[in-house]
Amino acid sequence: MSRLVVVSNRLADPRKPAAGGLAVALGETLKRTGGVWFGWSGKVVEDGTPGEGALHVSQAGSVTLAELDLCAEDHDAYYRGYANGVLWPVFHYRLDLAHFESGHLGGYRRVNQLFARKLMALLKPDDLIWIHDYHLIPLAAELRAMGCGNRIGFFLHIPLPPQQILAAIPSHEWLMRALFAYDLVGFQTEADLLHFSHYVKAEATAETVGVSQFRAFNSTVQAKAFPIGIDVEDFQRLGCAREARETFETTRKEYSRRRLLIGVDRLDYSKGLPHRIRAFRELLQQYPENRHSATLLQVASPSREDVDAYADIQRELESLCGSINGDYGDFEWMPIRYMHRTVARKRLPGLYRACAVALVTPLRDGMNLVAKEFVAAQDEEDPGVLVLSRFAGAAEQMKEALLVNPYDTHGTAQAIQHALQMPLEERKERHAALLARIREFDVHWWCRSFLQTLEQSRSEA
């Protein structure tokens, strides 16, 4: 059996809680398979040298953590500047928020080269390498340039936009060409895969040379959709433990006369938080019977606070929540409880279970694991209802949710009202179908099917 080497920008100790789909999913995968997890240590060295960084190797159970420090200049250009200032907004269809600066691209390349150099020193010839997400798109090309012949797979956790949007990135050809250094490229959805196929055929005159294989730049890459899942059993086990039960009890007791709605997100402009809050205001306005009876609990985990657009969204959200509470709240009832924090993972299932409705309404999302966690945490005899954005990757698999267009405030408010009024039988039917699907396509299915496909694939150089 080959050793698994996972590489991602964000690392997390698999024994500790984390927020963010990638860290949560990979932590759970590696806990089972063992192997190496290589990535940024989270440490920024103020006076370090660009292109250099110390590597710290430690053991966390069966997982070897290899953590690389970055100097401030590299981190700024690679993470804040290029990954989160160009790739994240463009891949989430937000050209208006992208800032193209050539220095940032230089930093992105330099850090990918640094990752490649440090990783090469740790690799064994038959290691299976699995690289994750937009921070590290050119990593395989850098490894190949250093002579790495291992099988290398790549999974993009975020959406891949259509060709016309991708083409706005000044270095888009270089970026997309880098994908051909992989043996296998995985996307979250069939829609993302279609965008890849259109792009490479139009911009790189790629040919399809077999089932899901694309040939261009003298290389062949296999590309497929592998929708990421959660560890349903593990999450349900967490839901039976003391902390989750306590959270359920205290939340139900505190809000005994209320119907609860829940939102759990990183505080990110892609999550559509202001749109969601406006839809909730519309609900209170259009359906006044919800005043005094419905409360929205919104937990937003601090994220990327050094990127300007994130500070803007935080201010907008605080002001919206404040104005709705001011307009509608009174001594007995506040419509919104907004918390700018990360909830302990062991409490999450209890919180989800205490709520009648989940609002998962991103403007664009690769998958969205919160949608799946909410379903997994419900009481099958009295389940809550999922209101899900049609623009979340999860919508491709979760058609029994109430699918909404988050830009349509009125339509979203109507869907929330529908969710609050839904009869028990319909709730049970929808929930059973959703639960069966997230069980079938859980995180183990995702990991197994990606790695099996990778093991069987070989790129022709």
Binding site for ligand ADP (CB under 6 A): 19-22, 24, 264-266, 299-301, 342-343, 348, 367-370, 373
Toward ligand F6P, which CB reaches closer, 87 or 422? 87
Choose the contact partner of 152 out of ligand F6P, ligand ADP, none; CB within 5 to 8 A by kind. none
**Nearest distance from C-beta of residue 26 to ligand ADP, angstroms:** 11
Residue 340 known to be catalytic: no
Strand partners, 360: 388
Cα 192 to Cα 91: distance, rounded to the nearest angstrom: 10
Beta bridge partners of residue 297, listed in sequence order: 262, 337
Question: Directed axis angle between helix 443-456 and helix 21-33, to 10°?
Answer: 70
Nearer residue to ligand F6P within complex by CB, 23 or 388:
23
Stretch that binds ligand F6P, among 19-27, 244-252, 345-353, 390-398 (CB under 6 A): 19-27
Q: Give the distance between the most distant pair of CA atoms in the chain.
A: 69
Q: Which of 352, 354, 356 is nearest to 371 (CA)?
A: 352
Q: Of the candidates 75, 92, 110, 157, which one interacts with ligand F6P according to CB under 6 A?
A: 157
Footprint of ligand F6P on residues 284-323 (CB under 6 A)? 303-304
Residue 348 interaction partner, one of ligand ADP, ligand F6P, none, beta carbon < 5-8 Å per kind = ligand ADP
Active site includes 327? Answer: no
CB 148 within 8 A of CB 157: no
364 near ligand F6P (CB under 6 A): no
30 binds ligand F6P (CB under 6 A): no
Phi, psi torsion values for 131, nearest 5 degrees: -100, 140
Q: Report d(CA 83, CA 108) in Å as an integer.
A: 8
Helix, strand, or coil here: 132?
A: strand
Q: How far is the CB of 361 from ligand ADP (least distance, A)?
A: 12
One-letter identity of residue 179: L
Candidates 92, 157, 195, 275; catalytic one? 157
Indicate the Cα dihedral angle 28, 8, 44, 68, nearest 10°: 90
C-beta closer to ligand F6P: residue 22 or 404? 22
Specify the residue, 191 or 343, whose C-beta has the smaller distance to ligand ADP.
343
* One character per residue 122-151, x = contact with ligand F6P (rule: CB under 6 A): -----------x------------------
Amino acid at the residue 223: A
309 binds, among ligand ADP, ligand F6P, none (CB under 5 to 8 A by kind): none
Binding segment for ligand F6P among 20-28, 138-146, 201-209, 423-431 (CB under 6 A)? Answer: 20-28
Phi, psi for residue 236 in degrees, rounded to 5 = -70, -35
Beta carbon nearer to ligand F6P, 213 or 303: 303
The interface region with ligand F6P, picked from 15-23, 204-212, 288-296, 325-333 by CB under 6 A, is: 15-23
Closer residue to ligand F6P in complex, CB, 271/347? 271
287 neighbors 261 (Cβ within 8 angstroms): no
Residues 6+ apart with CB under 8 A from 352: 262, 264, 358, 373, 374, 377, 378, 384
Q: Which does 343 bind (CB under 5 to 8 A by kind): ligand ADP, ligand F6P, none?
A: ligand ADP
Neighbours of 460 (CB within 10 A): 11
22 contributes a contact to ligand F6P by CB under 6 A: yes
Query: Of ligand F6P, ligand ADP, none, which one sits near residue 442, judging by CB under 5 to 8 A according to partner kind?
Result: none
Distance CA 383, CA 411 (A): 23
Residues of 1-21 as b/e, b for ≥16 C-beta within 10 angstroms? ebebbbbbbbbbbbeebbbbb
Q: Looking at beta carbons, which residue is closest to ligand ADP?
A: 21
Residue 195 or residue 304: which is nearer to ligand F6P going by CB? 304
CA distance 120 to 339: 43
Token pair 């250094």: residue: 181
Residues 192 and 208: their CA atoms lie apart, in Å, by 16
From the list ligand F6P, ligand ADP, none, pick the one residue 370 interacts with, judged by a Cβ distance below 5 to 8 Å according to partner type. ligand ADP
Q: Is 106 in the site for ligand F6P (CB under 6 A)?
A: no
Q: Do 369 and 21 contact (CB within 8 A), yes or no? A: yes
In whole angstroms, the minimum distance from the beta carbon of 320 to ligand ADP comes to 17
DSSP string, 254-280: HTTTSEEEEEEEES-GGG-HHHHHHHH
Phi, psi (rounded to 5 degrees) for 224 = -150, 165
Give me the catalytic one of 74, 268, 365, 442.
Answer: 365
Cβ proximity to ligand ADP, 188 vs 222, nearer residue? 188
Known catalytic residues? 157, 365
Contacting residues toward ligand F6P, per CB under 6 A: 10, 20-23, 133, 157-158, 303-304
